[in-house]
Amino acid sequence: MSYRSMQDCVLDLEKNGHLVRIKIPVDPNLEMAEIHRRVFDAGGPALLFENVKGSPFPAVSNIYGTYARTDFLFRHTLEKVQKVIELKASPDNLLKNPLRYLSAPFTALSALPMKSRFGVPVAYGETTIDQLPLVKSWKDDGGAFVTLPQVCTLPLGSKNMMESNLGMYRIQLTGNDYVTNKEIGLHYQLHRGIGVHHTEYNKSDQPFKASVFVGGPPSHAFSAIMPLPEGLSEMTFAGMLGNRRFRYAWKNGHLLSSDADFCITGTIVKNKKMPEGPFGDHLGYYSLQHDFPVMEVDKVYYRKNAIWHFTVVGRPPQEDSSFGYLIHQLVKPLTGQEFPGLVDINAVDAAGVHPLLLAIGSERYMPFRERKPEEILTIANRILGSGQTSLAKFLWIAAKDDNPDLSTKDIPAFFQHMLERVDWTRDLHFQTKTTIDTLDYSGSGWNAGSKLVVAACGAPRRTLGTQLPENLKLPTGFSNPKFVQAGILAIQGPAFKDAASGIAQVEELIRTISPYNFDQIPLLLLVDDSDFVSAQLNNFLWACFTRANPSHDVHGINSFVEHKHWGCKGALVIDARIKPHHAPPLITDSKINKIVDQHFAPGGALHGII
């Protein structure tokens, strides 16, 4: 079975009890997003909003809302694609088990994009930007956004689909200084293929034409975020995962995705930028307003029975967490090929993905002497020098042989393993004044910050504890020490006002607690709310690793610098307080909450959905 459109997907989900229709009029300004968040949080169904205020088009969300539903969407193709990837990782698998890979050639055939010759469904009709479901998710968003766009560009002068780039680059439809129906904002970040094309066109006198596809088979949206090697088109992956070759056509010099539900065509204006944002993003904070490229709109096409596909992002986990889940399933066979010696890796979703990466690697360099991090440091450098993983801010890496059963998915056990073995005098490795994720505002500037590799191996050095040092007294303004887990203690501190006073506060804390015995508590967190941070694992992961800049916010008891290497002889201290330069966290709108409360209350139109 293959989906030819979003309507095919919706009907299949509904038939199998995975979708509900919302028939009441719902406002795309904040109300739809709040309904989505509540249903997602409850593990509820996909949602088809049939009556979107201000738009003639229905909208669907939460189709990837659970891992089980994501598996369901690709139930006929996922295993087949995995086999193709296994063969890419190890071609000799075909000789070892030829029967397992009988389907691989047929799956590969669906990877070839195909030009539509007998009709282009997406060109059924034309509309304007202001007629689309203008979904605004958070109250301080700069306007309405396309949250699951597939932005397609080609290299200068090329019409070869195998050279195309299909990426999920945020699109702002309204607000700020954009002229409605004529201009939209295009936000893309580091390590994105569109940047290569943009650079080529800026050097030429040719117009840089681009297309934004929305909807279509579910494999298309997923493929737009799939981390494929540069030069390999996402259209090929969309075809394999969807078991249907990616159909395309040309119209008025613009590329169309024939199976998409909507297609916005236009030209990216060279050397022009306009303010884009703010936007409530997947780290759980607003990405702030910055200047980004502008696309002048030519046409907005739609197919018959078109359905607008959207999601809502915010503090993880959210619906887009399923993308990470699916990526991991697919690329796991390639891990050892891409990163020799690496056996397990986890970009921690609850920490916003890029702020925290956990890894396990082999340690084989010097088996005849005392074990210390060597090969895993080589692996760590490879990780930080490759594609999307280069955006990692904190990378904790362990050695496989120390515990063959260790997994990066069991996060409490992973931190226990690391903290039992880590030597803070040796195992901290900083990169300063480097690039970090565009959405991470913990650094020293936009895209600017630092990285920290924590690499530990060998026998345990300590037993972790959950008892405070005897007679512990904290400085004035510090209070409420709470354990996150054994060996990790959160201490509530005064609000961070500026760099000078913030450092002075940390130094006062360290000076006061240095005489106490923290041998069993190697990691201390300075936080705004220790009850919140210690209440659940996800709170710790989010607050600690999204709010700390390693070069500025990592301190320690009895710290030292030796030949430019920083370490500490006592506990490590991470200042995870909110800083004035941080982006504000996402908070729902109280007025909208009351409206949505009524929908879900007994007698309300949505009562019983969750």
Q: Please write the tens of the pLDDT for every residue from 233-290.
A: 788 888 888 889 999 999 999 999 999 999 999 999 988 999 999 999 999 999 999 9
Binned at pLDDT 50, 70 and 90, residue 411 comes out as: very high
Do 279 and 339 reside in the same domain of the chain? no
Q: Are residues 274 and 347 in the same domain?
A: no
Asked if residue 18 and residue 140 are part of one domain, the reply reads yes
Could you give the CA distance from residue 328 to residue 82 in angstroms, rounded to a whole number? 11
Specify the long-range contacts of residues 384-388, CB closer than 8 Å, at least 24 apart. Answer: 384/431, 384/451, 384/453, 386/338, 386/339, 387/191, 387/227, 388/191, 388/227, 388/354
429 domain residue, yes or no: yes
The domain total for the chain is 2
pLDDT tier at 61 (50, 70, 90 boundaries)? Answer: very high
Exposed e or buried b per residue across 217-234, where buried means at least 16 C-beta atoms within 10 angstroms of its C-beta: bbbbbbbbbbebeeeebb
Of 265, 285, 309, the residue at which a domain comes to its end is 309
Residues 258 and 388 in one domain: no
CATH of the domain at 199: 2.30.110.10
Domain assignment of residue 588, yes or no: no
304, 333: one domain: no
Q: What is the mean pLDDT of residues 301-312?
A: 98
Same domain, residue pair 325 and 305: no
Pairwise pLDDT comparison (450 vs 391), residue with the higher score: 450
Judge contact between 234 and 224, C-beta under 8 A.
yes
* Averaged pLDDT score across all residues of the chain: 92
Query: Domain check: are 301 and 344 in the same one?
Result: no
Specify if 205 maps to a domain: yes
Q: Is residue 94 very low, low, confident or very high in pLDDT (cuts 50, 70, 90)?
A: low
- What is the C-alpha to C-alpha distance for residues 569 and 560, in angstroms, rounded to an integer? 8
SS3 41: helix
pLDDT at 191: 47
What CA–CA distance (Å, rounded) separates 271 from 277?
19
Indicate whether 571 belongs to any domain: no
Q: Do 178 and 58 sit in the same domain of this protein?
A: yes
Q: Is residue 488 part of a domain?
A: no
- Residue 554: its pLDDT value, please? 98
Percent of residues, the chain, with pLDDT higher than 70: 93
Angle ∠(447,448,454) on CA atoms, nearest 5:
110
Identify whether residues 325 and 409 lie together within a single domain.
Answer: yes
- Residue 577 is assigned to a structural domain of this protein: no
In a domain, 478, yes or no: no
Which of the listed residues 309, 337, 354 is the one where a domain comes to its end? 309
Same domain for 305 and 326?
Answer: no
Looking at the structure, tell me whether residues 246 and 325 fall in a common domain.
Answer: no
Q: What is the pLDDT of residues 447-477, one digit of tens each?
A: 789 999 999 999 999 999 999 999 999 999 9
pLDDT tens-digit profile of 529-566? 999 999 999 999 999 999 999 999 999 999 999 999 99
Residue 368 above 80 pLDDT? Answer: no
Under 8 Å between Cβ of 610 and 21 = no
Q: Write down the pLDDT at residue 189.
A: 64
pLDDT at 108 over 80: no
- Give yes or no: residues 274 and 407 share one domain: no
Structure tokens at 539: 């709170």
Q: What CATH number is given to the structural domain containing 386? A: 3.40.1670.10
Where among 456, 482, 507 does a domain terminate? 456
Q: Which helix (H) or strand (E) holds 195?
A: helix 193-202
pLDDT at res. 47: 98
Residue 271's pLDDT is: 86
- Give which of 28, 35, 601 is closest to 319, Cα–Cα: 35
Which range marks the domain in which residue 147 is found?
A: 6-73+110-309
Residue 353 lies in a domain: yes
